[in-house]
Chains A and B, each alone.
Chain A
């Protein structure tokens, strides 16, 4: 087409998975043919709805699941109109109109409105706390509910319901799944498979009520849902109810526009509706009487639709056979085709109840027509391919259940290298092995991300990631290193891991951030908000008195030595060593609070006092008047050392915990650490200072002190583990100090002690800190050297250091 011919206008209604996949396919075929406008009812760029479950389970963040960011739309000249629901299609004038009045004319229209969750009209279904599971907002609401509430009931034991239940359980809720049918996922599994699945989920602590009929959702005093009442009279407590009983194709717009609908929007094999200018793809359509609720068939529809929009016209969609995998990490379930079997079919079955493995293949005339795998799904791709190809399995029928390795001589099941090129690897995107290998060799791809970008393989539900990585390894040979967590680069600005960066800083004696970036070949000029603070810490830790501590690479709290609050004011928490104070200190605090009109004075959870709502420009004078050392309540550093009264006063105390705590706090007062560090000292095993959930928790016993490490009382409570027992105060300092120095030197930035110890193992820590006496003393000496001579940051600023940090540029 010539440059000056006006481009045709394509309007897409629905910024979801099927609609935008169609646009992607179209841009690949005919990048300039259309001026494209996309309407989206959701306020986000196009994201991978499938991966909401890993977001809920805490394995991914929203940023990880965005498929196309705003830049992508801009780069392709797509006009993106978000937060707008199209309410009318005027077919006579070829105009779509959104709820805010925006009207856009079209030459071609694509409807991809997806589906809406079905909410059964049970009494109470409209109460606050009752959610569906469809969008990121639902996921966020569940995450929020899990933070503050305890009991969740999921109504519906299908794929979505079970993934929701698993995610909520992982976030610490008590979860019960109420399922109307006789067994879970009854539309994908037979009763035996479902029983194994239920067992596996029960062992994770999820409870089930099958044959469970919900009668009513009951409100609590606050008006929020508080319980679920079942038909048999049982009442389950529930401050969160997730409805996952099914979806309905979203046909409202098409129906209003007079397009024929029957369950879904009726489309031809070229994805056109009864009005040939209007196409439809995705969960909203019914093709040859079938609606689909999984992405693989929708992506096939998208390809055909794009092909027709590009006027190539030779694609036809003939329907799809679907397969399902449950995305619950560690519980492998696969189902495809006719999984129940029946007249004219025969089933071959392997069932190891104790080993939780179940394989069932349904055959008809020696061909696979369906199957269920539980426990081990490595062969699912192979079986599914034979199913789709309608291939005869007569030759290895008797060994079929042994999988590919048992059937094809000389092969191991996991050996992707020997698969034929036509084997489908990624089910969601329909990518076969040949295409992946071809892309790796011709485009010189070396990472999983590259393969995802170029071929889309493993970019949707991710369950074939292992196979794609195996293909990378087989194709690249030794030069491929899988992106396992231990190889994860520090951030997108570098390919180096935390450990490599630390080693380079140590070995090359790098002293500034620019030096480190230059030496390590950083790929951005001044890094980002993830790597700069990490680099700064690594430098300061490796070269305590020599490295340049860069204020601009510290988070605001550490830069100004106070905690920023939601309104932009700051909080001031002075040290009260071991939680002990004096009338004089209290008087000064009171005077400062009066003089600077500090709105809130609060006792913290860490045995000291917080002055909240201090204006930034007042900070230096507040510190001067207080004349107390900084409590580092804002820093990745030693926070508090909580103590109990101990043997000085307490009738049970066997050790002087208060003074032990004060000594520890003085000794490690000003050390920077990968994340914050909290300590506690209790005078006896009654443990009133809660030493069992601290990074370092000391407990006095008759014979001396127990040192516990790597506890955490925060997001996820973790009980500290016993490192060793020692006799004297000096030993406590030395062992605790050595442990902290090892943590300082070897943990990754933002690891709390528990995360680091979990990775390296307590045995390793014991070996370095307890068994190796010389090593311990050396570690301790390095820590003492690092903190020696560090000035108190507040005193320095009260005397005028960094003054411009606290004042506006011009009055």
Chain B
């Protein structure tokens, strides 16, 4: 991580996101980013567009580390952004962390440290 300058944006307090819910952060560069909070206070950020037909994932029902899209009910993994089988596709992920109750989002880079799941790659074709 030495080469890239990491810019973290403070997007608000953790307590402003409901447990098992989400809030939207309006990024100038990417559009809406959904920030999810699980029951165990895990925090995840995905582009607020379902890989199916662009549904706003922030409006879905959150359970475990997944969200059910409000439009047609696809289930998307919060950690990898990937649709759960039999559906296919990936929502773009953003790095996010919580510092002293403040939610910090990295909007300039997408998460790239893990190799993309094969199914997300093949989806592009």
Residues of A within 8 A of B (CB): 43-45, 47, 62-63, 66, 69-71, 74, 79-84, 100, 524-529, 532-533, 551-557, 559-560, 564, 566, 568, 804, 808-811
Contacts and interface: CB of A to CB of B under 8 A. Distances in A.
A45 B59 contact: no
Contacts of A552: 18-21, 61-62
Top 10 closest A-B pairs, CB basis?
Answer: A529-B68, A69-B85, A809-B23, A556-B59, A552-B20, A556-B70, A529-B61, A70-B85, A809-B12, A568-B56
B90 to A, nearest CB: 12
Contact of B63 (A71, A83, A524, A560): A524
Contact of B53 (A45, A551, A557, A566): A566
Nearest to B125: A83
Contact of A526 (B10, B59, B60, B63): B63
Given A80-B119, A808-B24, A47 B60 contact: no
A533 B70 CA distance: 13
A808 B85 contact: no
B8 interface: no
A100 B16 contact: no
B101 interface: no
B25 A808 contact: yes
Contact of A82 (B10, B39, B68, B119): B119
Contacts of B26: 808, 810-811
A768 to B, nearest CB: 34
Given A81-B122, A568-B55, A533 B71 contact: no
Interface residues of B, number: 44
Contacts of B117: 74
A81 B11 CA distance: 39
A493 to B, nearest CB: 9
Nearest to A564: B70
Contacts of A81: 118, 122
12 contacts: A45-B85, A66-B86, A84-B125, A552-B62, A553-B20, A554-B61, A560-B59, A564-B70, A809-B12, A809-B25, A809-B35, A810-B11
Nearest to B32: A808
Nearest to B48: A568
B47 to A, nearest CB: 13
A291 B46 CA distance: 50
Contacts of B70: 555-557, 564
A764 to B, nearest CB: 33
A395 B17 CA distance: 78
Interface string B31-65: 01001001110000000000001111001111110
B11 A809 contact: yes
Contacts of A71: 85
B61 A555 contact: yes
A83 B125 CA distance: 7
A553 B40 CA distance: 16
A69 B83 CA distance: 12
A557 B39 CA distance: 22
Nearest to A63: B86
B36 to A, nearest CB: 11
Given A83-B125, A528-B68, 9 more contacts: A80-B119, A81-B122, A82-B88, A524-B64, A532-B61, A533-B61, A564-B56, A808-B25, A809-B35
A62 B64 contact: no
A809 B61 contact: no
Contacts of B54: 568
Nearest to A68: B85
A84 B124 CA distance: 12
Contacts of B60: 529, 556
Given A552-B19, A568-B56, A810-B11, A532 B118 contact: no
